[in-house]
């Protein structure tokens, strides 16, 4: 305990108390956020590097808190996970994403692939397979229009339950993507038995390309490996033209990042697609 004499301790405990109160109120707010319709999905384009045509978009969750404003998923997803709220939030994301994709199709947008993030914890619940199947049917989507992004983590290594679940998702006809590749401290052996279609190179490996020799070596190796495993390679977090040029030279197939666009609300995303040269 920090104690700098006199009423220092007192002050500190008050601060702690305030912080835990704040967290408690955030918890209560999060429990009601779905009901109160405070969640929204924003969409970030994924672009074919060579032609700069739009391949699809990633749905990214946003929480519009009535008093605190926009709260980042990096902040509330871990809390939701801890509170056991992620499964129901995750179900909302799948349904809302599919509904939006169907709406865009009705509006005449070209057929794009929608990527949905699913945390390893959500994969413990087999009902996700039924939900995906139902959403595809309800919104008359083609399963190949959906991509499920799963963060690379120890959780996806060889446990039989995981292997079966991923094969079951794959059997629906949706694509599976490894998110944040290179950050999960897992061995590469899972790449052999798991039915992935796509690999996303984490932004942390791309920040200093093409100038940093080590980063360049790592990115080259990842791309070569992904290509020989027939995985579509996506570079995430691309912000600058030199990064794009370099990734294009290495034949990295897809680029995602602020260079093209930040994640956008659905209406702005549709406008982006319609104004983008195709
Ligand atoms: P992620 O899946 O790796 O998503 C990419 C993150 O990088 C997004 O942050 C996106 O806004 C950001 N980003 C994209 N391009 C750039 C760029 O050029 N520069 C920089 N600096 N950042 C870029 P966001 O939206 O804050 O999401 C953070 C994380 O929260 C996501 O990382 C994902 O792990 C998680 N997340 C978001 N939505 C969902 C969801 O619906 N379900 C689950 N389970 N997790 C989600
Ligand atoms: Ca992702
Ligand atoms: Ca990622
Ligand atoms: Ca990331």
Kindly report, residue by residue over 235-248, the tens digit of the pLDDT: 999 999 999 999 99
Q: Whole-angstrom Cα distance, residue 136 to residue 145?
A: 9
Task: Provide the ipTM.
Answer: 0.98
Q: pLDDT at position 1, please? A: 47
Q: Tell me the C-alpha distance between 249 and 146, whole Å.
A: 28
Question: How far, in Å, from the CA of 159 to the mean position of ligand 2?
Answer: 22
User: What contacts 24+ positions apart, CB below 8 Å, involve 125-134?
Assistant: 125/87, 126/165, 126/168, 128/90, 128/94, 128/165, 128/169, 129/165, 129/168, 129/169, 129/172, 131/91, 131/94, 131/95, 132/94, 132/169, 132/172, 132/174, 133/172
Residue with tokens 């995303």: 269
- CB of 77 within 6 A of ligand 1: the answer is yes
The DSSP-derived string for 42-61 is EEEEEEETTT--EEEEEEEE
Q: Is the pLDDT of residue 82 over 80?
A: yes
- Of 170, 92, 98, the C-alpha closest to 141 is 98
The confidence score (pLDDT) of residue 14 equals 82
Q: Is 4 a residue whose pLDDT tops 80? A: no
Mean of the pLDDT values across residues 157-175? Answer: 87
Q: Report every protein residue that has its C-beta within 5 angstroms of ion ligand 2.
A: 117, 149, 179
- Taking CA 131 as the corner, what is the angle to CA 125 and CA 135, rounded to the nearest 5 degrees? 155
Rounded Cα gap, residues 216 and 252, in angstroms:
13
Question: pTM to 2 decimals?
Answer: 0.93
Instruction: Report, as an integer, the average pLDDT of 252-266.
Output: 98
Region 55-72: mean pLDDT is: 96
Query: CA angle at residue 13 from 7 to 19, to 5 degrees?
Result: 140
Q: Mean pLDDT, to the nearest integer, of 210-239?
A: 96
User: pLDDT averaged over the chain?
Assistant: 92
3-state secondary structure of 227: helix
Residue nearest atom 35 of ligand 1, based on CA coordinates: 73
Task: Say if residue 90's pLDDT is above 70.
Answer: yes
* CA–CA dist 206, 203 (Å, integer): 5
Which residues keep their CB under 5 angstroms from ion ligand 3? 179-180, 236
pLDDT-based confidence at 167, cuts 50/70/90? very high
């Amino acid at each position: 305990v920090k104690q700098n004499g006199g009423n220092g301790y007192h002050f500190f405990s008050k601060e702690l108390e305030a912080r835990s109160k704040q967290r408690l109120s955030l918890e209560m707010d999060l429990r009601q956020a779905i009901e109160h319709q405070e969640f929204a999905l924003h969409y970030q384009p994924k672009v074919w590097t060579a032609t700069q045509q739009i391949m699809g978009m990633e749905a990214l969750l946003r929480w519009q808190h009535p008093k605190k404003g926009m709260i980042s998923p990096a902040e509330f997803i871990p809390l939701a996970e801890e509170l056991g709220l992620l499964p129901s939030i995750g179900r909302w994301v799948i349904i809302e994403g599919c509904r939006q994709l169907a709406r865009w199709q009705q509006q005449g947008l070209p057929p794009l692939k929608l990527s949905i993030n699913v945390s390893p914890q959500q994969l413990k619940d087999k009902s996700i397979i039924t939900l995906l199947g139902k959403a595809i049917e309800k919104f008359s989507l083609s399963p190949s229009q959906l991509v499920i992004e799963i963060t690379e983590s120890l959780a996806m290594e060889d446990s039989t339950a995981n292997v079966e679940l991923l094969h079951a998702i794959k059997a629906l006809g949706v694509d599976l993507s490894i998110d944040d590749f290179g950050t999960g401290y897992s061995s590469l052996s899972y790449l052999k038995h798991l039915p992935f279609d796509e690999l996303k190179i984490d932004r942390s490996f791309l920040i200093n390309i093409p100038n940093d020799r080590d980063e360049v070596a790592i990115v080259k190796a990842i791309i070569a490996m992904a290509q020989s495993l027939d995985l579509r390679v996506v570079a995430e977090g691309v912000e600058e033209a030199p990064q794009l040029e370099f990734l294009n030279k290495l034949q990295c197939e897809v680029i995602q990042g602020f260079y093209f666009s930040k994640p956008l609300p659905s209406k702005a995303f549709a406008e982006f697609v319609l104004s983008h040269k195709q």
